[in-house]
Structure 1
């Protein structure tokens, strides 16, 4: 049960954000965007060849790519501003790490052009998380 005297830090609800429309249009809810990105990372991991090097890459990208959304979810409802910022900062670090793994995989194991949108999406998530962190710090 939430204490009514405590200000909980939350990500805006879906009703406070523009509605995502149809396929091809951007999703504005960072929770949903991180979730969709994690699903895409899992698809990429499944497409990697079966060998020792790719086993390491697969493990790393799955850990970092799914951790983004997990930390965003943890941040939602944080009791303190500091905790909210910390969880969002961890999510941002994980997004940066995932972008690194995508860049490493691109061209070597999966055609670069097939990962360009994913690398771009990772950068957009980094930018969104940075904006959320900076806005929260100013409040």
Structure 2
């Protein structure tokens, strides 16, 4: 796997750990379970699909898994905006984790664009 791939997997794992912590906070401190469940699913799915992509059977399968990760990142950004706008999390909490998710999204956009171009040339 490339250095970029290793970095992406590491960032996804660290982000998933942050999501687990955020969901624990939402459940225990804010008693908010519905949004926390949605956040948990989408936020941890980003890295899970990146990990699954590592065993893809083709370049197209690899790109498809990364697109799923990208969609999950976008959904996670939605839930984060909702949590901030409904004041379940502070602006400081929001900005920190939102920026991390945006970085993952940018990485996924970059690699899917490059891979899509490579797949269409083959």
Judge same fold: TM > 0.5, yes or no.
yes
Matched, 1:83 2:61: yes
Deviating above 4 A after TM superposition, structure 1's stretches of 4 or more consecutive aligned residues are none
Larger helix fraction of residues? 2
For 2:47 and 2:15, locate their aligned partners in 1 and report how far apart those are by CA, in whole Å.
8
Gaps of 5+ in 2: none
For 1:133 and 1:113, locate their aligned partners in 2 and report how far apart those are by CA, in whole Å.
30
Deviation at 1:115, TM superposition (A): 1.8
Deviation at 1:75, TM superposition (A): 0.5
Q: Secondary structure at the match of 1:110?
A: coil
Matched, 1:36 2:14: yes
Deviations along 1:9-57, one digit per CA (max 9) or x if unpaired, are: xx41xxx35xxxxxxxxxx71011001001001111111111xxx2110
Aligned counterpart in structure 2 of residue 123 of structure 1, from 87, 102, 121: 102
Deviations along 1:49-99, one digit per CA (max 9) or x if unpaired, are: 11xxx2110100000011001000010131211100100000000011111
Q: CA RMSD, aligned part only? A: 1.4
Task: Please report the TM-score for the alignment, with normalisation by the length of structure 2.
Answer: 0.87
Q: Secondary structure at the match of 1:82?
A: helix
Aligned counterpart in structure 2 of residue 98 of structure 1, from 60, 69, 76: 76
